[in-house]
Chains A and B, each alone.
Chain A
Amino acid sequence: MTENLEQQLRVAFAQKAAAISSESSARLRASDYHPRRHAIPSGRSVGAGLAVAVSLVIGIGLLLLLHSGARSKSTAATPTSPSVTQPVGTPAVLAEIHRQAGSLVGSDTAFTAELHALHGYPVIVIAWASWCQPCQQQSALLQAASRRYGNKVAFIGADTSDTAGKTFLANHALNYPSYQLTVKQLSSITPIHGIPITIFIDPAGNVVHVQAGKYLTHGTLSADIAQYALGAL
């Protein structure tokens, strides 16, 4: 009974939260908060220098990763999951992803290689962690989306748990495969400010949208998929 009310409460909050207009958030995004005005000048230039250095290192690292990834195509054999069904007409490369559902397929090298192999298809990278409650809460939405759009869009998990990811996957069936990455490795694609984060990559390999924080409704997730994944096709 209590559990039931708690569940209904989650839905009621999500419904009410959806009533908020997009203008409020647009206004808040557009506001100028002048963060730099308050920064200590010397700290700022040091910070800027560091930022340039870090992005250079990340950039070079990414180039190297792409290079090695392209040469050593992922060959990791993965357990099949009989429960996963895929729509007829799924391209081979996406069908392979469905076959890898629920498993940890590799680390950052394999992940980079996979992104490379997926050029030509929109990719949605879902960063999660075993300890992340909001990740688990949005999991049902993403799984439904993966079932629905998996024949056109590649859904790939990025497990940023330190060690518990495998145990988590043993207890929770995900219908997409995951790669084990650190947040740092993942941020070679786009800045990562926290988990959950969902990254939309277009068929040309560019990050086109980043959802920071969990998805609250099927509606917002579907809208983003339509705009940033299917829209690119």
Chain B
Amino acid sequence: MSRVRWSFDDFVNGYVDDLLRTAFLITWDESEAEDLVQECLLRVAKRWPRVRGMEMPVAYARRILVNLALDGRGRRSRNRRELDSAADRISPAYQAALDLPDLDAEADLDRLGQRSELVVALGQLTPQQRTVLVLRYFQDLSEAQVADILGCSIGTVKSSASRGLARLRELVSSPRQTEVAEP
């Protein structure tokens, strides 16, 4: 497979949305996501002569991004995050996201209620719990690729993913009985 050498500007233009959304879904906070992506791109820029020759420069960028996100760098307090997630439920942007006319309109109508619960439930997971799910189901990366990014074994990826899914199932199946039991 031939490798194409590309400019850093092209890289930023091509992947900034991808990285920003990944960071957003991990942190659940837009301005924190923006900070993380900026820091990540600065680091990529610093090593660009080496990174541009890699087969998948974006994989390298994702690894930096995820490490930054889970490192606690720029991480806000839990209180702040909870406030944000509460504001989420009624913010216009959130509402707009639910009102999207795309995504198989018919099936959507059936499950919209459940899905919006799922979005709220996702917001109640910790960034650590969400990361594996984001990489697996938003980025659609394989377990091996996720393991590579997180620097852990495939077994660990599998078990964290299934723990995350189990927690979500709990949150979605009985949100009203248990209220929000998560500290």
Contact = CB atoms under 8 A, between A and B. Distances in A.
Interface string B23-37: 011000011011001
Contact of B97 (A15, A29, A192): A15
- Chain A's interface size range is 35 or more
A183 B12 contact: no
B33 A21 contact: no
A134 B142 CA distance: 11
A46 B45 CA distance: 18
A203 to B, nearest CB: 24
B10 interface: yes
B100 A25 contact: no
Question: Looking at chain A's contact residues, is the secondary structure mostly helix, strand, loop, or mixed?
Answer: helix
B20 A24 contact: yes
Nearest to A34: B45
- Chain B's interface size range is 35 or more
A27 B34 contact: yes
Given A2-B165, A25-B16, A29-B16, A19 B141 contact: no
Contact of A13 (B17, B46, B94, B138): B138
A210 B17 CA distance: 13
Interface in A1-46: 2, 5-6, 8-21, 24-25, 27-29, 31, 33-35, 38-40, 43
Nearest to A2: B165
B137 A13 contact: yes
Given A21-B93, A28-B37, A192-B4, A212 B14 contact: yes
Given A15-B115, A20-B24, A184-B2, A194 B14 contact: yes
B150 interface: no
A134 B31 CA distance: 26
A231 B44 CA distance: 36
3 nearest A-B residue pairs (beta carbon)? A212-B14, A218-B102, A19-B97
Interface of B: 1-2, 4-8, 10-18, 20-21, 24-25, 30-31, 33-34, 37-38, 41-42, 44-49, 56-58, 91, 93-94, 96-98, 100-103, 111, 114-115, 118-119, 122, 133-134, 137-142, 165, 168-169
21 contacts: A8-B115, A9-B118, A9-B133, A12-B122, A13-B25, A18-B100, A20-B24, A20-B93, A28-B20, A29-B16, A33-B45, A38-B45, A162-B1, A182-B1, A191-B4, A191-B6, A193-B57, A212-B14, A213-B14, A213-B15, A222-B102
